[in-house]
Structure 1
Amino acid sequence: MRMRLRKHRRRVLTTQYNERRARIHRTRRFSISGYNVHMRVVLAAIFTVLIGMGCIDADAVLEAFPTPDRSEVTSTRGFLPTITPISEYTSPPTITPLPKFRLAPTVTPMSRFGLAPTVTPVPTFAFAPTVTPVPKWQGFVQAEPLRELDIEQVYPGLSFDRPVALAFPEDGARRGFVVEQAGRILFLKDEDADTFLDIRDRVNDRGNEEGLLGLAFDPDFDSNGLFYVYYTANGPRRSVISRFSVGPGYNTADPGSEKVILEVEQPYANHNGGQILFGPDDFLYVGLGDGGSAGDPKGHGQNTGTLLGTILRLDVSSLDAAGSYAIPADNPLVGVAGARPEIWAYGLRNPWRFTFDSETGDMWAADVGQNALEEVDLVRPGLNYGWKIMEGDECYSRSCDTRGLELPVTVYGRDDGCSITGGYVYRGTRLPSLYGAYVYGDFCSGKIWALRFDGSRVTESIQLADTRLRISSFAEDADGELYILDLGGEIYRFAEEG
Structure 2
Amino acid sequence: MLSALFVPIASAQDAPVADPLPTPGQSGIGLELTEVARLPASQPVPPPTDTRLRRYNRINYLGELPDGSGRLFVPDMNDTLYLLDGGTQHAYLDLGAAVGPDFHNHRGLGSGFGFAAFHPDFGRNGKFYTVHTETGAALTDKEPDLPSPVEDEVHGVITEWTAADPRADLFAGARREVLRVGYASFIHGFQEIGFNPTARWWDEDHGLLYIAAGDGGIGVNTTVPQDLALPQGKILRIDPAGTDGPNGRYGIPRSNPFARKAGALGEIYAYGMRDPYRFSWDAGGSHRMFMGHIGEKAVDAVYEIRKGANLGWSEREAQWEYRRGDPSCGVFPLPADDAKHGYTYPVTGFDHNRLASARPCADSGNALMGGFVYRGTKIPSLHGRYIYGEGVKGLVFTADERSLRTGRPFVESREVMVYSGGQRTTLPALAGDPRVDLRFGQDAEGELYVLAKANGKVWKVTGARTFASCASGHDFVSGATSARSWEPVTPSLWQFPGREVVLAQPGAARPGPRRPFEYAVLRKGPEFGSVQVDASVRLDTPVAESNRDVVVVFGYRSDTEFYYAHLSSDNKIYPHNGIFVVNNADRLRLDHQWDAARSVGAAPAVTDTDWHRVRVRHCAGTGEIAVYVDGSRHPLMTAVDKTFSSGRVGFGSFDNIGRLRDLRVQGKGVR
- Tell me how far apart the structure 2 counterparts of residues 349 and 230 of structure 1 sit (CA, whole Å): 18
1:98 aligned residue: none
1:376 and 2:311 equivalent? no
2:443 aligned residue: 477
Within the candidate set 211, 216, 221, 1:297 is matched to 221
| CA contact 1:312–1:344 (8 Å) conserved in 2 | yes
1:199 aligned residue: 95
1:154 aligned residue: 35
SS of residue in 2 equivalent to 1:275 = strand
1:84 aligned residue: none
1:467 and 2:391 equivalent? no
1:276 and 2:193 equivalent? yes
Report the residue type matching 1:204 in the other structure.
Answer: H
| CA contact 2:349–2:413 (8 Å) conserved in 1 | no
- Tell me how far apart the structure 2 counterparts of residues 185 and 447 of structure 1 sit (CA, whole Å): 26
For 1:90-131, what per-residue CA distance to the aligned partner results, in whole angstroms no more than 9, with x for missing partners? xxxxxxxxxxxxxxxxxxxxxxxxxxxxxxxxxxxxxxxxxx
1:255-334 equivalences under 5 Å are 257-279=174-196, 280=199, 281-282=205-206, 283-293=208-218, 295-318=219-242, 324-334=249-259
State the TM-score, normalizing by the size of structure 1: 0.66
- Tell me how far apart the structure 2 counterparts of residues 315 and 396 of structure 1 sit (CA, whole Å): 34
1:492 and 2:459 equivalent? yes
Within the candidate set 117, 141, 155, 1:238 is matched to 155
1:29-68 equivalences under 5 Å are none
Report the residue type matching 1:463 in the other structure.
Answer: E
| CA contact 1:231–1:274 (8 Å) conserved in 2 | no
1:398-437 equivalences under 5 Å are 402=338, 403-415=341-353, 418-437=366-385
For 1:196-225, what per-residue CA distance to the aligned partner results, in whole angstroms no more than 9, with x for missing partners? 111213331112221111111111111111
Distance 1:320 1:154, change over 3 A: farther
For 1:123-161, what per-residue CA distance to the aligned partner results, in whole angstroms no more than 9, with x for missing partners? xxxxxxxxxxxxxxxxxxxxxx96422342432454452
1:393 and 2:341 equivalent? no
Report the residue type matching 2:460 in the other structure.
Answer: R
Which structure is higher in helix share?
1
| CA contact 1:471–1:484 (8 Å) conserved in 2 | no
Deviation at 1:345, TM superposition (A): 0.3
2:474 aligned residue: none
Number of positions where the alignment pairs a residue of Structure 1 with one of Structure 2: 352
1:86 aligned residue: none
Q: Could you tell which deviates more after superposition, 410-419 or 275-284?
A: 410-419
Deviation at 1:318, TM superposition (A): 4.1
SS of residue in 1 equivalent to 2:275 = coil
| CA contact 2:244–2:252 (8 Å) conserved in 1 | no
Report the residue type matching 2:116 in the other structure.
Answer: L
Report the residue type matching 2:382 in the other structure.
Answer: L
| CA contact 1:146–1:434 (8 Å) conserved in 2 | no
- Tell me how far apart the structure 1 counterparts of residues 271 and 30 of structure 2 sit (CA, whole Å): 34
State the TM-score, normalizing by the size of structure 2: 0.50
| CA contact 1:441–1:471 (8 Å) conserved in 2 | no
| CA contact 2:273–2:313 (8 Å) conserved in 1 | yes
- Tell me how far apart the structure 1 counterparts of residues 319 and 249 of structure 2 sit (CA, whole Å): 38
- Tell me how far apart the structure 1 counterparts of residues 38 and 438 of structure 2 sit (CA, whole Å): 20
Q: Could you tell which deviates more after superposition, 225-234 or 146-155?
A: 146-155
| CA contact 2:293–2:302 (8 Å) conserved in 1 | yes
- Tell me how far apart the structure 1 counterparts of residues 459 and 372 of structure 2 sit (CA, whole Å): 15
Report the residue type matching 1:275 in the other structure.
Answer: E
Deviation at 1:472, TM superposition (A): 4.2
Deviation at 1:267, TM superposition (A): 0.8
- Tell me how far apart the structure 1 counterparts of residues 377 and 192 of structure 2 sit (CA, whole Å): 26
| CA contact 1:347–1:386 (8 Å) conserved in 2 | yes
Distance 1:356 1:263, change over 3 A: same
Report the residue type matching 2:182 in the other structure.
Answer: E
Deviation at 1:458, TM superposition (A): 5.8
- Tell me how far apart the structure 1 counterparts of residues 393 and 319 of structure 2 sit (CA, whole Å): 21
- Tell me how far apart the structure 1 counterparts of residues 288 and 244 of structure 2 sit (CA, whole Å): 30
Deviation at 1:433, TM superposition (A): 1.7
Report the residue type matching 1:270 in the other structure.
Answer: I
1:223 and 2:158 equivalent? no
Q: Could you tell which deviates more after superposition, 389-398 or 233-242?
A: 389-398
| CA contact 1:331–1:341 (8 Å) conserved in 2 | yes
1:22 aligned residue: none
Deviation at 1:297, TM superposition (A): 2.7
- Tell me how far apart the structure 1 counterparts of residues 315 and 385 of structure 2 sit (CA, whole Å): 29
- Tell me how far apart the structure 2 counterparts of residues 461 and 369 of structure 1 sit (CA, whole Å): 17
Report the residue type matching 1:428 in the other structure.
Answer: G
Report the residue type matching 2:290 in the other structure.
Answer: W
- Tell me how far apart the structure 1 counterparts of residues 119 and 37 of structure 2 sit (CA, whole Å): 29
SS of residue in 1 equivalent to 2:61 = strand
Structure label with greater radius of gyration: 1
Deviation at 1:319, TM superposition (A): 5.2
SS of residue in 2 equivalent to 1:291 = coil
| CA contact 1:272–1:291 (8 Å) conserved in 2 | yes
- Tell me how far apart the structure 2 counterparts of residues 157 and 317 of structure 1 sit (CA, whole Å): 35
- Tell me how far apart the structure 2 counterparts of residues 366 and 344 of structure 1 sit (CA, whole Å): 16
Deviation at 1:334, TM superposition (A): 1.5
Deviation at 1:227, TM superposition (A): 0.5
Distance 1:412 1:287, change over 3 A: same
- Tell me how far apart the structure 1 counterparts of residues 190 and 58 of structure 2 sit (CA, whole Å): 17
1:348 and 2:244 equivalent? no
SS of residue in 2 equivalent to 1:424 = strand
Distance 1:323 1:335, change over 3 A: closer
- Tell me how far apart the structure 1 counterparts of residues 227 and 289 of structure 2 sit (CA, whole Å): 22
- Tell me how far apart the structure 1 counterparts of residues 37 and 439 of structure 2 sit (CA, whole Å): 18
Structure with the larger RCO, 1 or 2 (CA within 8 Å, 6+ apart): 2
| CA contact 2:77–2:114 (8 Å) conserved in 1 | yes
1:252 aligned residue: 170
SS of residue in 2 equivalent to 1:421 = strand
Structure 1: where are the runs of 5+ without partners? 1-144
Aligned-pair Cα RMSD in Å:
2.4
Percentage identity across aligned positions? Answer: 31
